[in-house]
């Protein structure tokens, strides 16, 4: 697996407005996430990207924190 920090660096957070509620929100573009972390998206019955599964992203964030902590503790 690619470095967790590198994976997180490739994700781009975006601000957007939901069409149905007109509410502002923050998140990721699922199609972009599918190219970086394919396990973090789900598909509809037509095999189109439907949305994002946050747990795989959180797991990678935890690993990225561990990587960064290791670098800090070991002076790398």
Burial group, residue 63, by CB count within 10 angstroms (0-12, 13-18, 19+): middle
Indicate the domain borders of the chain: 4-73
pTM summary value: 0.83
Taking the chain (76 residues) in consecutive chunks of 10 residues, what is each chunk's mean pLDDT?
A: 90 95 96 96 94 96 95 82
According to the model, what pLDDT value does residue 1 have?
Answer: 61
């Amino acid at each position: 697996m690619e470095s967790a920090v590198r994976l997180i660096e490739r994700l781009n957070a975006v601000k957007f407005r939901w069409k149905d509620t007109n509410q502002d929100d923050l998140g990721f573009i699922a199609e972009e996430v599918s190219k970086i972390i394919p396990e973090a998206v789900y598909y509809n019955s037509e095999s189109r990207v439907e949305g994002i599964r946050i747990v795989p992203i959180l797991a990678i964030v935890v690993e990225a924190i561990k990587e960064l902590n290791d670098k800090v503790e070991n002076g790398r």
